[in-house]
Amino acid sequence: MTLPELLELLASMGSDPSEETVGLSELDHGLQCAFELARAHPDDQELQVAGLVHDIGHRFGPDDRHGALGAEKVRGLLGDRVAGLVEAHVPAKRYLVTADASYAARLSAQSTRTLGVQGGTLTPDELASFESSPFAVDAVELRRADDAAKVPGRVVPSLRHWVPMLEDVARSRPGAEFPGAVGAPDAST
Ligand SMILES: [Fe+2]
């Protein structure tokens, strides 16, 4: 996926109603999530960008696969860490439900419904595997921002605000062959 294609997809999500919050689009949700991460982690552009794109996988398949599908879509453009964070935000929810007794009680109604489809609490093996992931700590941060990013009518920076950061992340990802050509066709898509 090229940067123009990603921007077009994100913009189109402005007309996708959020599955769970009236008056909130899927784009609003991503923008709020990125904004939350920018406040908490102002120096981590990849984490902020991961927050912006974390739910694009909903456009490409069922809920239980949306993390992996979203990761697949952005890996070529935004690199392995952003992709890893996008993929890990789903097990991060399962991790929090498993590790933090009060977390499950605070989940939104829709998040509680999808938890079952996503696998519920982690088994001991899954827990160990998640905790050993290089993305675990930051994926939990993403997940907490995800939970906070469901406020109808909240004013946050628009998609245009994030374009320079998306360009920076795309140019600086390991393996970027043509640092200036972030919009060029990507062989991985
Ligand atoms: Fe989300």
Instruction: Report whether pLDDT(10) > 60.
Output: yes
What is the C-alpha separation between 25 and 32, in angstroms, rounded? 11
Dist. CA 55 → ligand 1 center (Å):
5
Dist. CA 11 → ligand 1 center (Å):
16
* Superfamily for the 3-14+25-170 domain: Hypothetical protein af1432 (1.10.3210.10)
Dist. CA 3 → ligand 1 center (Å):
21
Q: Could you report the per-residue pLDDT of 28-87, keeping only the tens digit for each?
A: 999 999 999 999 999 999 999 999 999 999 999 988 899 999 999 999 999 999 999 999
How far is residue 159 from each of residues 48, 70, 154, measured CA to CA in Å?
Answer: 12, 18, 14
Dist. CA 29 → ligand 1 center (Å):
7
What per-residue confidence (pLDDT) applies to 182? Answer: 60
Dist. CA 53 → ligand 1 center (Å):
9
Please say whether the beta carbons of 127 and 95 come within 8 A: yes
